[in-house]
Structure 1
Amino acid sequence: MKCGKIMDKDPLTLKENEFITHARQVLRDNKLRSVPVLDEDEKLVGVLTRRGVLNVTSNKSNVTVQGYVKKTTIVTPETELIELGHKMIQSNQGTLPVVESPRNEKVVGIVNIVDLFNSIEKLDISTNEKSEDIMTKKVETLSSNDRVTKAWTRMTKTGYSGFPILKDNNLVGIVTRLDILKSGFARFKKEDDGSRRVNDSPKVEKIMSTPVFKVKPSTNVTESAKIMREKDIGRLPVVDSDDEKRLIGIIDRYDILESLLGA
């Protein structure tokens, strides 16, 4: 199967001279991970990502997309899904522009890791690996009492798009970039800039996603992939076999792709 079969053939795009405030609204309203950015000649110059938007601390109307464009890996409609998976893993990009050809970078579509996840099942790929074999054991977490600004700052510094939330060392939720964008608090200044407005932002427990979908160390990677597809989530906390509130690791779509594709 090829990218042309699963790509969005009518993707939203932005021009590099558009205002970042508009771009932020486009990402938030359409729940997008990234958007291709074009120049005045309709040629691809890169992408604007959720992380890039979260790095914007200004609400000034004259700030444009241009300064926040990120270089991107590209694929074509003829790219096989296995190759697509490898490109996503190598570039650590969950959304890739699809161009007409390597020589003609006219954007003809966009494909994301969810599209790949929902289609890779048809390739009949399986693995004997378990969640404990691929999980990250040193998990970045936040407290339920932490402010949204702290989550925002942590995301921009680490590149992680979501964090498990703990209360009294028990797993109670997950907060993601999309949760922050939907809350409207992506406009707040960063936690460490000395602004008194930091304390005006809500606690993460007010915007976190619940209930928490989770797996045990013994859960097969193929089963974890199925849960992610069915629940439309990008990460799964791994909890102790004897205590489902005790977090011991986390896996995401990239971990699962690496396992399934042998990357």
Structure 2
Amino acid sequence: MHVEEIMNRNVITLQPNDTISKAHQVLVENKIRHIPIVDDDFFVVGIVSDRDVRDALPSKLSNEKTTNILDREIATIMSSPVLTAHPLDFVEEVARIFYDQEIACLPVISNEKLVGVITEKDLLYTLIQLTGTHVQGSHIEVKVPHKPGILPEVASVFGKRKVNISSVLVYPYRNDPQYKILVFRAQTMNPLPIIRDLREAGYELMWPNNIPEPRV
């Protein structure tokens, strides 16, 4: 999945010479947390967050007036230079940037101009879509050997029961490279037949693991 599929194209922007007061107003009125700062050619020159605005305000112990602070230009508090993404970047790669850099928003740039933004909320929503948790169904985790062909082998058990798979995720098994955990989201409210089939085929279930073995 590419960034362009989940980014917000309706971006609210300000310019470096706009005031901190205006930034605060835009953040509050639009219920957003970040504002890309652009020049006349729509090149991104900085970014301002609600935290930047809060941090700019004087403390109660300061003698400086709040009105003086709010009249300053955004350029005095914006973060620059700015990390950016491209519309054709993969979402999972961008998610790694969010994690490594501890950020919550990335402007999306194409031909050096701003075309959208992607936020941590967009990434969380995408995770919900990818894991299939927005679709009613059952969650099944299977421990398998880490070898070629194991995924279609296990998935065939679902196919024999005519059960659709909403999503499949692959996780490492603790620190053991010889095994993986396959996480299936299946479109059924009665997973018992599949669970029995998986156990009869010799697979170890990590979840659910509290359902009795089938009676002989």
TM-score, L = length of structure 1: 0.45
DSSP-derived class of the 2:67 partner: coil
Count of matched residue positions in the alignment of Structure 1 and Structure 2: 127
Query: Could you list the per-position Cα deviations for residues 30-77 of structure 1 after superposition, in whole angstroms to 9, with x for gaps in the alignment?
Result: 121211001233211110011110112232263110111103210011
Counterpart CA distance in 2 for 1:17 and 1:41 is: 15
2:115 equivalent among 108, 111, 134: 108
Name the structure 2 match of 1:59: 67
2:127 equivalent among 109, 115, 120: 120
Counterpart CA distance in 1 for 2:172 and 2:93 is: 22
Structure 2 letter corresponding to 1:120: L
Q: Tell me, yes or no, if structure 1 residue 73 matches structure 2 residue 80.
A: no
Gaps of 5+ in 1: 130-221, 223-263
DSSP-derived class of the 1:9 partner: coil
Q: Tell me, yes or no, if structure 1 residue 85 matches structure 2 residue 85.
A: no
Name the structure 1 match of 2:211: none
Name the structure 1 match of 2:14: 14
DSSP-derived class of the 2:27 partner: helix
- 8 Å CA contact 1:81, 1:120 repeated in 2: no
DSSP-derived class of the 1:14 partner: coil
> Relative to total residues, which structure has the larger strand share, 1 or 2?
2
Structure 2 letter corresponding to 1:70: S
- 8 Å CA contact 1:17, 1:65 repeated in 2: yes
Alignment RMSD: 2.1
Name the structure 2 match of 1:23: 23
Structure 1 letter corresponding to 2:67: N
Name the larger-Rg structure.
Answer: 2
Counterpart CA distance in 1 for 2:14 and 2:127 is: 29
Gaps of 5+ in 2: 58-65, 132-168, 174-182, 184-216
Name the structure 2 match of 1:156: none
Name the structure 2 match of 1:232: none
Counterpart CA distance in 1 for 2:103 and 2:119 is: 9
TM-score, L = length of structure 2: 0.54
- 8 Å CA contact 2:8, 2:116 repeated in 1: yes
DSSP-derived class of the 1:79 partner: coil
